[in-house]
Structure 1
Amino acid sequence: MTSRTIVEKAPREPEDTLAPAPAKGLRGHPWLTLFAVAIGVMMVALDGTIVAIANPAIQKDLGASLADVQWITNGYMLALAVSLITAGKLGDRFGHRQTFLIGIAGFAASSAAIGLSGSVTLVIVFRVLQGLFGALLMPAALGLLRATFPAEKLNMAIGIWGMVIGASTAGGPILGGVLVEHVSWQSVFFINVPVGVLALLFGLVILRDHRAENAPKSFDIGGIVLLSQAMFCLIWALIKGSEWGWGDWRTIGFLGAAVVLFVVFALSQKNVREPLIPLAMFRSVPLSAGVVLMVLMAFAFMGGLFFVTFYLQNVHGMSPVDSGLHLLPLTGMMIVGSPLAGVAITRFGPRVPLVGGMVSVAIAMFGMSQLTIGTGTLTMSLWFALLGFGLAPVMVGATEVIVGNAPMELSGVAGGLQQAAMQVGGSLGTAVLGAVMAAQVDAELEDNWKAAELPPVDPAQLDQASAAIKVGMPPIAPGTPPEISVKIADVAHDTFVSGMSSAFMVAGIVAVVAALVATLTKRGANAEAGMGAGHI
């Protein structure tokens, strides 16, 4: 098989894998499959944001240090990002149904174990396991949708799938705030148990195993090790860069190691009989553009959203629940827009919706760069709604472009690429925009402090104040007179908002670049071949 064949002309596959016949009974029914998959995906997407609300309570209850609490998030993120592509390959080899069910069971079990843990060490260990099992089920979910839905219905299915992810991600802080405030931090994890049991039962009854005729028969163990090490070095450098400093030898060392390992991995793939990622996949310009687009979208969205929570809670003084409610316009537009985007992409192809979506994201980011301390709810809601409206077609369309331009036997790898691109983009966006924010705060703080005629501070005190202001917190010491406290709060919030504005401007520019990348996309080659071949 030549590399050209892999990319541009998928091998002929059995009728039930490329264009499924109408399902008889429950097993394999496309819309029921989507429902079963959505329950599991919801559980993982929700966990990505809900836990952040529980971290302060975990720290207090278990006597954890700040580094321990960071590892609760970082351990999960690292395990998820490092394992996604390998997990997708496992699904291609052993079947996406089996991989999905194992992922669901493991995720629910590790969630229960976290809730029962009496030490922060155990919490971190089981969070890593959570990430590994989450990596198993996310690419498998896309593989199941690709194999179950005929081509003309796939975009709608991915639209609903994207809606579930968007709603769960944005709804995490709201649900987390309610559970932590009224129940306990353990309930944030225990809630996954009944959801996981429900998803497992539906999966056992409904999901049908689909395997391509030429699915991989072996594993590239060396490639798995190299790619895992490369992803670890990259994500770890992005996580720790703001703490170490971007010019620190440790940050540069991990980034350099990631580059070297990625190069060695790419070279190794040319000499393996069944490579982990056939490099010929990337000869498909639309598929490559879809991966880049997903990275840039996640960069702008997740990096920007990182500051929004601080802005709402620390500048406007909202509770976690109130700040989550203020993000409902974003969530609502993603819920409404994702299925509509699936319809539009099916009818017109992905290019126009993707370009339009990223233009909307760019406008929203530039608009959010104009937020001030006194910006009202209506103005914020308009920008949040426009952001959600733009994200919906990008989430759906980029996923379809990546998965649809990969051959059926690599649908799991394609799903892993899609999820890995989101993780890398989100980590990169948070790191880069955080660095932009930090630089702006450091550049303005001293002058703003003097302009407000506040008592002079030495460089060490200024550094401490800067660290607090970078998350929107006024550095007010106990016993500070009220009139001085008000001035410090004004300086802190003004400086924070200025840094946030710069970060949103950069995110807007990235979104414009993403809109240009979106012009290179087109409907999946395999989807085109299957159009009209089956009906639900």
Structure 2
Amino acid sequence: MSPSAGTDVLDAQPQRPRDDSRGRSSRAGHGHPWLTLIAVALGVMMVGLDATVVSIANPAIAKDLGADLSGLQWVTNAYMLTIAVTLIPAGKIADRFGRKGTFIAGVIGFAIASVLIGASGSLGMVIFWRVVQGFAGALLQPASLAILRNTFPADKLNAAIGIWGATVGISIAGGPIVAGLLVENVNWESVFFLNAPLGVIALAVGLWVIRESKDEEARGSFDIPGVVLLSGALFALVWGLIKAGENGFGDAVPLWSFAAAIVLGAVFVVNELRAEHPLLPLGLFKSASLSAATGLIVLGFFGMFGTIFFITLYLQQVHGMSPVDAGVRMLPMTAVFIVASPIAGALTSRFGPRVPLVLGMAFTATALFGLSRIGVDAPYVQLWPWFVLIGLAFGFVLVAGTEAIVGNAPPQLAGVAGGLQQTAAQIGGVLGTSVLGTLLSTKVGDVLYGRLTDAGVPGQAAGQITDQGAGLVSQGVAPVPPGTSPDTADAITSASHLAFMDGWETSMTVAGAVAVVAILAALLVKRGQTPVEGAAAL
């Protein structure tokens, strides 16, 4: 999750709730703004932790459930895809049927789905419950911000959103360490079970203190065809990319998947142009600045999320770090985000979004090109500077991108524009893990046999390992057959790790090139006219 504005909180002018529940409170604390903030913060803390804990747990999930690289990609992508296509409708649900009820439903759904993920005995069930978890997260996020907006007076709203954003940032920063401790000392399932007590507390406090509110003027049908078409197009695209990594781009499955994605995407555009209440009003993209900023969010999160996915595999599988050590080593990346957000807010207020966006993408490109040059046994001193740059870039792109998207949208569509920002971030993350994973696994398949024979592994054995173990090597795992002699085992391990690093170099280089292109796009972004509440605090 990223601390972004939901589909309601970013309207141009703060409004009070449009219901009759603001009369005298029937119990102590009911409707109290700061207690409401605590309830909301507890809910979003679950989602913030989930943004980074899963990456640390991935190697353990793969080992326990026998997942290959594509399976791990779906553990991440199923969640992000679901959020991407349901976030805007979820905001509309909250406006129409009640923000408190929607928030509570999101908390309950997220906690239950988390427990069922941990209780799953197969990769398929993990992925299924990750989809449910994603939908619950989509309900929770916009409703939480809308609740704050309808609870706090205008002069205190930015401070409340700032605390909300800090809660998310601290959760993201602490996620790798929490996950490392749990995976190392308990099991990977406990990473998801952790959401149960948080959910129970958030539920109890939320039911007691949050006052219900809704937009009595909210009306119109939901664009169900739009949701289905966008979901299908993104699923087909991601499926094709992952299958291309397994079978090559010339295989029939990825080709048909890409064709389906194009057709469904085209039909989605036609549907949005004709729908009375479209999921995504395409008129928003008449603004060059808004369009460029949306593309920047996609490209920025493409590099950042894709990199985080593979960094944890590198640290644990190739470098041999424990989950705790890997979590601690990632702290410069995740913790710097907390510092970067207010800096980006100040820069955006002073210079507009263009300067922090250019800086953010320049930091991203520099970090990715730097990471592309590291070796199998790179000391930590060669890693942490790039981690710091990625953390800075994350904060800069997120805050300035939010201002550019929402600020350049018409005031009456500011809420939808806020949802567009988060949707773009999730799509970028999905594409990052999918495309970079495809590039890495394709390169591994191309070089693994040569790396094995160069290390002294006999040709027949090298061929068998290449045919049967390339998927493991793409995770950084050395597929050493049982009974292999120590010398041959060392040769297979060395060659496998070198092949992984070949794929790593390719994927990081491509991601860096994408970031360079994004720098050019950032030059097109101008300051908007619509005020963005809390932008500087996020």
Per the normalisation by structure 1, the TM-score is 0.82
Q: Could you tell me which residue of structure 2 aligns to residue 291 of structure 1?
A: 294
1:128 partner amino acid: V
Q: Are 1:225 and 2:232 matched, yes or no?
A: no
Q: Could you tell me which residue of structure 1 aligns to residue 531 of structure 2?
A: 527
TM-aligned CA deviation for residue 325 of structure 1 = 0.8
2:443 partner amino acid: Q
Partner Cα distance (1:269, 1:522) in 2:
26
Asked whether the 8 Å contact 1:170–1:324 carries over to 2, the reply is no
2:477 partner amino acid: M
Q: Could you tell me which residue of structure 2 aligns to residue 274 of structure 1?
A: 277
Q: Are 1:499 and 2:499 matched, yes or no?
A: no
Note the 1:133-532 alignment, pairs <5 A.
Answer: 133-143=136-146, 164-165=167-168, 167-169=170-172, 171-204=174-207, 215-407=218-410, 410-457=413-460, 459-527=463-531
TM-aligned CA deviation for residue 323 of structure 1 = 0.9
Larger mean Cα displacement after TM superposition, 451-460 or 298-307: 451-460
Partner Cα distance (1:402, 1:454) in 2:
54
Larger mean Cα displacement after TM superposition, 84-93 or 142-151: 142-151
Q: Could you tell me which residue of structure 2 aligns to residue 21 of structure 1?
A: none
SS of the residue aligned with 2:531? helix
Q: Could you tell me which residue of structure 1 aligns to residue 21 of structure 2?
A: none
Asked whether the 8 Å contact 1:472–1:496 carries over to 2, the reply is yes
TM-aligned CA deviation for residue 144 of structure 1 = 5.1
SS of the residue aligned with 1:275? coil
2:369 partner amino acid: F
Partner Cα distance (1:447, 1:124) in 2:
35
TM-aligned CA deviation for residue 356 of structure 1 = 0.8
TM-aligned CA deviation for residue 33 of structure 1 = 6.0
Q: Does the C-alpha gap of structure 1 residues 163 and 356 become closer, same or farther in structure 2, counting only changes over 3 Å?
A: farther
**1:364-388 CA deviation, whole Å, 9 max, x = no partner?**
1111112112321122111111211
Larger mean Cα displacement after TM superposition, 135-144 or 150-159: 150-159
Q: Does the C-alpha gap of structure 1 residues 485 and 65 become closer, same or farther in structure 2, counting only changes over 3 Å?
A: closer
Q: Does the C-alpha gap of structure 1 residues 55 and 466 become closer, same or farther in structure 2, counting only changes over 3 Å?
A: closer
1:402 partner amino acid: I
Q: How many residues align?
A: 515
SS of the residue aligned with 1:525? coil
Asked whether the 8 Å contact 2:344–2:399 carries over to 1, the reply is yes
TM-aligned CA deviation for residue 327 of structure 1 = 0.7
Q: Does the C-alpha gap of structure 1 residues 407 and 192 become closer, same or farther in structure 2, counting only changes over 3 Å?
A: farther
**1:438-494 CA deviation, whole Å, 9 max, x = no partner?**
343344334333433332236343333533332222332233333333333332222
Q: Does the C-alpha gap of structure 1 residues 331 and 233 become closer, same or farther in structure 2, counting only changes over 3 Å?
A: same
2:345 partner amino acid: G
Q: Does the C-alpha gap of structure 1 residues 512 and 209 become closer, same or farther in structure 2, counting only changes over 3 Å?
A: farther
Per the normalisation by structure 2, the TM-score is 0.82
Q: Are 1:132 and 2:135 matched, yes or no?
A: yes
Asked whether the 8 Å contact 2:290–2:405 carries over to 1, the reply is yes
SS of the residue aligned with 2:246? helix
TM-aligned CA deviation for residue 292 of structure 1 = 0.9
Asked whether the 8 Å contact 1:117–1:123 carries over to 2, the reply is yes
Asked whether the 8 Å contact 2:61–2:67 carries over to 1, the reply is no
Asked whether the 8 Å contact 1:89–1:276 carries over to 2, the reply is no
- Cα RMSD over matched residues? 3.8
**1:12-40 CA deviation, whole Å, 9 max, x = no partner?**
977548xxxxxx99888877766544432
Partner Cα distance (1:64, 1:471) in 2:
12
Partner Cα distance (1:406, 1:147) in 2:
22
SS of the residue aligned with 1:476? coil
1:481 partner amino acid: S
Partner Cα distance (2:243, 2:466) in 1:
22
